[in-house]
A = this chain, B = another copy of it.
Amino acid sequence: MTIAAINSRNQFKGQVVAVHRGSVVSEIEVETAAGIVSAVITTSSVDRLPLRVGDDVLAVFKATEVLVAKLSERA
């Protein structure tokens, strides 16, 4: 079964540079053009994919999950 496209427009290509394993969830650091994107996913998923440092990945997140913070003039 091959995925042709995902609806979410926010997709950042990058490489896994760190996997911080926990018993239930793990933090994955993905190096992208805009810097590190951090993802928390289940450790069972890390083992199932599997995900390892060096893998080419997409960091994907929905627009409804994004907050917008306005910066003050002195930004």
Of A5, A34, A36, A65, most buried by chain B (CB within 10 Å of CB) is A5
Contact check, B67 vs A60: say whether CB atoms are below 8 A apart: yes
User: Chain B contacts of A25 at CB under 8 A?
Assistant: 22, 24-25, 27, 40, 64
Complex CA gap A75/B57 in Å reads 9
A71: which of B3, B28, B64, B71 is its contact (CB, 8 Å)?
B3
Contacts A4-B71, A67-B60, A75-B2; is A33 near B34 (CB within 8 Å)? yes
| Smallest CB separation, A70 vs chain B (Å) | 5
Contact check, B6 vs A68: say whether CB atoms are below 8 A apart: yes
Contacts A8-B45, A27-B44; is A57 near B61 (CB within 8 Å)? no
